[in-house]
Amino acid sequence: MFKQILGKLPKKTSAKFWDNGESQTLDNNNNQGGGDEVLSQRTSSNGDTSLDCVSSFDVLPRLRDVSISEKQELFLKKLRLCCLVFDFVAEPQQNFKEKEIKRQTLLEVVDYVISSGNGKFPESVIQEATKMISANLFSNPHRQWKNKTPEALDLEEEEGSLNPSWPHLQIVYEFLLRIVASPNTDPKISKKYIDHTFVLKLLDLFDSEDPREREYLKTILHRIYGRFMVHRPFIRKTMNNILYDFIFETGKHSGIAEFLEVLGSIINGFALPLKEEHKLFLTRVLIPLHKLKCLPNYHQQLSYCVIQFVEKDCKLADTVIRGMLKYWPVTNSAKEIMFLNELEEILEATQLTEFERCMVPLSRQIAQCLSSSHFQVAERALYLWNNDHVTNLVRQNSRIILPIVFPALEKNGSSHWNQAVKNLTENVLKVLSDTNPDLFEECLHKFQEDQQKAEDTKKKNGETWRQLEEIVASMAK
Amino acid sequence: MKAKEMKKESNLARLVKSPVRFLIMARDAYIRSMTSCSAGFIRGGGGSGAFGLPPGNFQICEAPTTVLPRSFTLNSATTTRERCRFVTRGASSGEITVETTAMKRQMDLRRNYSCMVMGRIDEEKVCDQFEEEDYSKKRKIGGVFTTHQQ
């Protein structure tokens, strides 16, 4: 695919060179004018570009046209040329020609990284590459766009704002990804330039509102974490800090879902037995992430991370379930349904011992969900009985669980407003009755007795109120 | 005289009762519309078109982004899971077929509730090989080349 795109390059590039030659031969004033434009652009931008780059902006030959010995030097020159950052926000209509030249130069350097043979990249290449990447990704025009975003943006909006610098940024991200993932990149050399400062700035970019940018950042972070073992503790610590800030301070961040996707692959690879640091991450970061209002934006990734933990160490099921019960939503039905979905997946990975430790508060919560007026919540809670593993756990502890959930089921079966919930409830009651008829009858009798007691208490209270009224009436006389 | 009085009273009673009747009709219509959201599978026994309706309990949840297993390490028997256990005993064969199909469809949807999974990173090893084929397929650059002439 990339080769096909590059196949279009030679034609246009040669045409451009021909145009440049023609303009140079015809009119010297035009050439000087172009130089002035580039100079003024350089003044407005904050790039650390030298004057040599500007003067040689139009005349660099293609990498394919030079010999192998000259290739690397030309590659370095092209990298320096790409350090010049164009402002797509404040000046979107200026420097069209220069922008296109830079874009094609970026494509050339990406292709060079992809197509280079077995030789390792020397340190000078990594140094210039990192400098170019930093100039483009961590530059001020990038932040200007971010600051201009309106504050009232809806957090749950899936579509974010698109970065106007994307025509150049995409290729820079692709270049960074190729450099990090290339077998010709030596980690021992690269870690001096892709250092903690670089990684920290890269992680700050995750708050971008452009989903295309976050997608690239996610993949790049995944590769850096995988490849540079020396950076792993720092990356985990920095991600923790960003997540703490999100959970306890701002509640606003665009890239939480992407962070959790990377973390999902990291958690997947955790060694057994789990380190204490990782368990703390679960209890202090992943579980509190359930309480935020914008949970729908990242719940799939979050539940995947949590379930990975429970599958690696089944003893954590009790901790996770109690944490979820602590943050269980009360009025947000959409969140409640997500919680029930995640709960079923956690229960599938839960063993009997861990289930018994938390089943009493869990059953009370399930009973509340069964009694919910929101039919989707009640319906989803009823479907827990459709899961074989959950049903097995419940059956082995039915003597404790059934008395808790039975009143809710019986009320649903007789008086819930939604017909589907009624039907499902009757089915669940039949299953429970077939499984343990004696206990079922016992619960039914107790339920009826409790109802009778409630009615008697109600009557007694009515009588007491009536007596009080008579006394008051007689005293008035 | 009596006939006129009776007729008059009947009209008056009907006028007095009509608001109550309208409210009852509105309530029934509302409940019918809410029920139709979720009961498409269970009550629509006759028509096969009812199965195309999305289940009510997933209207709020986001649609699953990709078809992937919920977990790679948990092994559970799919045949057992797919068997519908809510079929009522003694029901007619038509009803059994209907409910079985409905429940299976819903279970399939719920089983796909998962997210995109990136390559696994072993905690104690350098990982620098991540599905190169998928990697090259997914990446796209540039799109249409546009040259602006000034």
| Choice between A50 and A374, residue whose per-residue pLDDT is larger | A374
**pLDDT at residue A47 above 60?**
no
Average pLDDT, stretch A128-134? 91
Predicted pLDDT at A411: 83
Predicted pLDDT at A43: 38
Q: Is A387 in the B-facing interface, judged by CB distances under 8 Å?
A: yes
Of A335-339, A466-470, B11-15, the poorest mean pLDDT is in: B11-15
Compute the distance between CA of residue A222 and CA of residue B118 in angstroms, rounded to an integer: 8
Q: Is B42 in the A-facing interface, judged by CB distances under 8 Å?
A: yes
Q: Residues of A with CB below 8 A from B121's CB?
A: 222, 225-226, 265-266, 268-269
Domain assignment of residue B59, yes or no: no
Domain assignment of residue B110, yes or no: no
Structure tokens at A86: 């164009």
Q: Is A389 in the B-facing interface, judged by CB distances under 8 Å?
A: yes
A401 exposure class (CB count in 10 Å sphere: 0-12, 13-18, 19+):
buried
Domain assignment of residue B28, yes or no: yes
Q: Residues of B with CB below 8 A from A30's CB?
A: none
Predicted pLDDT at A162: 82
Considering only CB atoms, A223 lies closest to which of B38, B81, B130, namely B130
Domain assignment of residue B138, yes or no: no
Dmax (CA) for chain A in angstroms is: 121
**pLDDT at residue A94 above 70?**
yes
Residue A63: name the closest of A121, A104, A122 by CA: A104
CB contact under 8 A, A424 and B136: no
3-state secondary structure of A245: helix
CA atoms within 13 A on the CB side of A444: 11
Taking the CA of residue A167 and the nearest CA in chain B, the distance in Å comes to 7
Range of the domain at B20: 11-36
Residues A349, B71 contacting (CB under 8 angstroms): yes
Q: Is A419 in the B-facing interface, judged by CB distances under 8 Å?
A: yes
Chain B interface test: which of A113, A166, A388, A422 (most B C-beta within 10 Å)? A388
Predicted pLDDT at A248: 93
Compute the distance between CA of residue B66 and CA of residue A389 in angstroms, rounded to an integer: 24
Map out the domains of chain A as residue ranges: 60-83+123-140+163-226, 313-434
Predicted pLDDT at A135: 93
Taking the CA of residue B37 and the nearest CA in chain A, the distance in Å comes to 10
CB contact under 8 A, A375 and B118: no
**pLDDT at residue A398 above 50?**
yes
Nearest 10 degrees: CA dihedral of A25, A29, A33, A39?
80
CB contact under 8 A, A269 and B106: no
CB contact under 8 A, A264 and B115: yes
**pLDDT at residue A54 above 60?**
no
Q: Is B101 in the A-facing interface, judged by CB distances under 8 Å?
A: no
Compute the distance between CA of residue A431 and CA of residue A384 in angstroms, rounded to an integer: 13
Q: Is B38 in the A-facing interface, judged by CB distances under 8 Å?
A: yes
**pLDDT at residue A267 above 70?**
yes
Structure tokens at B28: 């029934």
Domain assignment of residue B16, yes or no: yes
Compute the distance between CA of residue A443 and CA of residue A301 in angstroms, rounded to an integer: 40
Under DSSP, the state recorded for A110 is H
Average pLDDT, stretch A188-214? 90
Q: Is A341 in the B-facing interface, judged by CB distances under 8 Å?
A: yes
Taking the CA of residue B119 and the nearest CA in chain A, the distance in Å comes to 6
> Considering chain A, what is the average pLDDT of its residues?
82
A405 exposure class (CB count in 10 Å sphere: 0-12, 13-18, 19+):
buried
Predicted pLDDT at B72: 41
Place of tokens 């009624």: A422
Predicted pLDDT at B139: 41
Q: Is A164 in the B-facing interface, judged by CB distances under 8 Å?
A: no
Q: Residues of B with CB below 8 A from A349's CB?
A: 71, 74
Predicted pLDDT at B8: 63
Compute the distance between CA of residue A369 and CA of residue A333 in angstroms, rounded to an integer: 10
Domain assignment of residue B20, yes or no: yes
CB contact under 8 A, B135 and A181: yes
Inter-CA distances, A338 with A40, A103, A260, A367, Å: 54, 44, 17, 17
Under DSSP, the state recorded for B58 is G
Of A53-62, A155-164, B36-45, the poorest mean pLDDT is in: B36-45
Q: Is A402 in the B-facing interface, judged by CB distances under 8 Å?
A: no
> Considering chain B, what is the average pLDDT of its residues?
52
Size of interface A-B (CB pairs under 8 A): 178
Q: What is chain A's Cα-based Rg?
A: 33
Say how many domains are in chain B.
Answer: 1
Find the closest chain B residue to A272 by CA distance: B123
Structure tokens at A393: 């756990």
Instruction: Concatenate the DSSP letters of all residues of A269-331 into one string.
Output: T--SSPPHHHHHHIIIIITGGGGSTTGGGTHHHHHHHHHHHHHH-TTHHHHHHHHHHHT--SS
Taking the CA of residue B117 and the nearest CA in chain A, the distance in Å comes to 7
Place of tokens 């593993």: A389
Predicted pLDDT at B77: 40
Predicted pLDDT at B109: 38
Compute the distance between CA of residue A167 and CA of residue B138 in angstroms, rounded to an integer: 18
Residues A360, A323 contacting (CB under 8 angstroms): no
Average pLDDT, stretch A4-16? 41
CB contact under 8 A, B74 and A271: no
Structure tokens at A426: 């009757």
Tell me how far apart the terminal alpha carbons of chain B are, to the nearest angstrom: 100
Under DSSP, the state recorded for A74 is H
Domain assignment of residue B30, yes or no: yes
**pLDDT at residue B47 above 60?**
no
Predicted pLDDT at A140: 53
Find the closest chain A residue to B118 by CA distance: A265
Domain assignment of residue B79, yes or no: no
